[in-house]
Structure 1
Amino acid sequence: MADMVDPQTEQKLIDKAQEKLVKRKRFEEVFPILVDELMAYCTSEGMPQDAKDWFKRSLMYNTPGGKLNRGLSVVDTVEIMLCTDATGNKTRELSEPEYLKAAILGWCIELLQAYFLVADDMMDKSITRRGQPCWYKVEGVAEIAINDSFMLEAAIYFFLKKHFRSDPCYVHLLELFHDVTLQTELGQLVDLITAPEESVDLSKFSLTKHHLIVVYKTAYYSFYLPVALAMRLINVEDEALYKSAQDILIPLGEYFQVQDDYLDCYGAPEVIGKIGTDILDNKCSWLINIALASATEEQRAVLDANYGRKDAACEAKVKEVYQAPNIDIKSRFEAYEKESYQKINALIEALPQDAGAVGKGGLKREVFRAFLNKVYKRTK
């Protein structure tokens, strides 16, 4: 018999879900305004209607359709830092100008994500993205998607100039986007040359390599960037606080990606919304690296012969190795998750007590607790 949820807890869950929907809807309402600004710019530059229509279609197809977690995290972080007291209780609402600027920065991250995904899908020869054909697979697009990815990235700097040029944080925002873009592209490079789909060589894999790929390809832009942008927006000047934020958020991003790797293999497809393909696609995932580190010669031979092969029988043999008693991926992941949670919590608790005080930097523990609570023991 399923566990019963008491009515009060159930109502809290309903209220929380409703609040999340309202926040998302408000955030989504900002994007068409930004698209209109870009279209007005294109008009002022004398662009023909078919070019404007193409750009607008690319923006709308590639940017708003995901979970929007990165963009919403900018808004959430600004709200926590400006609108809550030391105990996490809300003291006020963001003003409309405060909200709009936070949301614009959030959409700039979503544009960065869109830029990465359009290019990544072409590099990986992917077929679908977010339940629809990848942009380059849309009829009539093909290689034009390369230029479209560049335009998605360029839109970021258009919005930063338009909305933040007179702000003290402007140069910091530019530097953040430039630095994190390069870091992400370096991570993508290491990933591409370590684990090309058409050439399987497990000798290139290692937990050290996995760590490098995850930190640079995912953690910086998905976890550190939203918080750093929020901190710059409210003019946090103490550079030590950015180091503290990075020291928490990069391990959190790595933990998130290890979860993702685990769910790809062991998550329920109906829950995570996809069928995992990391084994078939020769991904340098946490699971294969854990297995390689502990495999016997016989097990290593099985992995070498079957990993990265587009064959369900080969995939099954790899999963058998994962389940072997000397490897036992499930138990190792449970231990890793527990250790990561304790480590990240300790880093959060080590933040100075007054770091969250208004006028003393604006960095609050609740910012990081909110991230950790979203990620810990997630199932999708």
Structure 2
Amino acid sequence: LRKKMNQPLLTALRRFTNNQQLLASIANLLEQISGGKGIRGRLLIGALEANVLLYGHASLALKANTIASAVEMLHAGFLIQDDIMDNASTRRGKPCWYRQVGLSGINDGVLLQSAASWLPSVVLDDHPQKNAIVSSFVEATMITSLGQKLDMEKARPETCSWDRYRELVTNKTAHYSFWFPMKVGLLLADVQLEEVEIELKNICYEFGFYFQAKDDYLNCFGDESVTKKHSSDIACGKLTWLLLTAVDMSKSDDDQLKIIWQNYAQFEQRMTKEVRSLYEQLDLRGKFRLFEQAAVQNLSTLINRLKMPQLCPLLFEMLHLIKNQ
């Protein structure tokens, strides 16, 4: 299936090169970076199928699969660059791509992003929403880059706020992971978004906030044999749900705040352990469980109120997937 999804890009690239070695190298890149839950592609296809019966529409189905693969390619490009900036070691249980190929991985990330944004203009022909879809890819790339810029700034006492975290999450995660694929799927279905756009976008952004908060939690408290993460957010100085919650709970305790800020964003393992020990002392596991219950309840309420009920099964499927990751 992955090879079938990657084939449109390899075919389209022949417009620019017939260098078989280069094309084989790109095919290997696509194969090596595959994996993950495919949330973004599933959202796109699900949004389309909720509004259009694809049976008997082979051409639209093929185009949709190609655009879904482009969305996942864009995601892969972001991940390659994110791993380089974070000096990460593994991704999805394998060495990060740049660890395998060196700094040429920077260009590979750019290649994937460029190809993803270019593919819709190639495959959509005279689709009435072609320009809007192409524009959505460009917008998603820009917004995510802004979020990545925010994410690379180490957390400090003067910048540690929930408003900043929500801005970071909205730009880095929520927009391109949830709203962007949902919007593109609906545009492929030629659905008029005016009446539900604000409502649906808000739901997608709430999904993104919950998704990122859970990712923050798993980075510290998840099963390392599954997540392959080792509290790297603490060492990298990331602004996270856990850090903000710990700071809120420690505002009346100078000693606890001192532990956080003297040890946060330091690569010595003992310093990471100091922060993680405080997280345990503050019972952030329990605090996250309460947050998760409230987030799931809030999203369930928003989904049930949505004025586009045909999307509700898809959104509840996504909610179940995130909750059980």
Q: Distance in 2 between matches of 1:77 and 1:238?
A: 12
**Contact 2:179–2:204 (Cα < 8 Å) also in 1:** yes
What is the aligned partner in structure 2 of residue 372 from structure 1? 319
Q: Where does the alignment leave 5 or more consecutive residues of structure 1 unmatched?
A: 1-24, 84-91, 196-200, 357-362
Is 1:303 matched with 2:260? yes
Shift of 1:176: 1.0
- 3-state SS in 2 of match to 1:33: helix
- Cα pair distance change 1:174/1:273, threshold 3 Å: same
Cα distance in structure 2, aligned partners of 1:185 and 1:157: 14
Q: Is the 8 A contact 2:136 2:180 kept in 1?
A: yes
Q: Which residue of 1 is the match for residue 215 of structure 2?
A: 260
Counterparts of 1:1-380 in structure 2 under 5 Å? 25=1, 28-43=2-17, 47-62=18-33, 64-83=34-53, 93=55, 95-138=57-100, 141-195=101-155, 201-295=156-250, 296-324=253-281, 327-352=282-307, 355-356=308-309, 364-376=311-323, 378=324, 380=325
8 Å contact 1:261–1:285 — kept in the other structure? yes
How far apart are 1:252 and its partner, in Å? 1.1
> 2: CA distance between counterparts of 1:276 and 1:79?
39
* Distance in structure 2 (CA, Å) of the matches to 1:38 and 1:61: 20
Q: For residues 66 and 94 of structure 1, what CA distance do their matches in structure 2 show?
A: 30
TM-score under structure 2 length normalisation: 0.90
Task: Give the structure 2 partner of residue 11 of structure 1.
Answer: none
- Structure 1's 94 and 370: CA in aligned 2 closer, same or farther, altered over 3 A? farther
- Write the letter of the residue equivalent to 2:141: T
Distance in 2 (CA, whole Å) between partners of 1:322 and 1:238 is 43
Question: Do the aligned residues in 1 keep the contact of 2:216 with 2:241 (CA within 8 Å)?
Answer: yes
1:39 to partner: Cα distance:
4.2
| Count of paired positions | 323
Closer, same or farther: CA 337–274 of 1 in aligned 2, 3 Å: same
Deviation, 1:317, is 1.9
Query: What is the CA distance between 1:226 and its match in structure 2?
Result: 1.5
Q: Distance in 1 between matches of 2:22 and 2:46?
A: 35
CA distance in 2, matches of 1:73, 1:124: 28
Matching residue's letter, 1:130: R
Q: Matched residue of 1:214: which SS?
A: helix
Give RMSD over aligned pairs. 2.2
Matched residue type, 1:53:
A
Deviations 1:333-380 (CA, angstroms, capped at 9, x unpaired): 12211221222122112223xx34xxxxxx53223222212222x2x3
Shift of 1:298: 0.7
TM-score for both structures, normalised by structure 1: 0.78
Q: Equivalents in 1 of 2:84, 2:221: separation in Å?
A: 27
Greater C-alpha radius of gyration:
1
- Aligned-residue offset at 1:93: 4.7
In 1, Cα distance between the equivalents of 2:312 and 2:118? 33
Structure 2, unpaired ranges of 5+? none
What's the CA shift string for 1:305-347, capped at 9, x where partnerless?
A: 22222233322221232233xx431232122112212221221
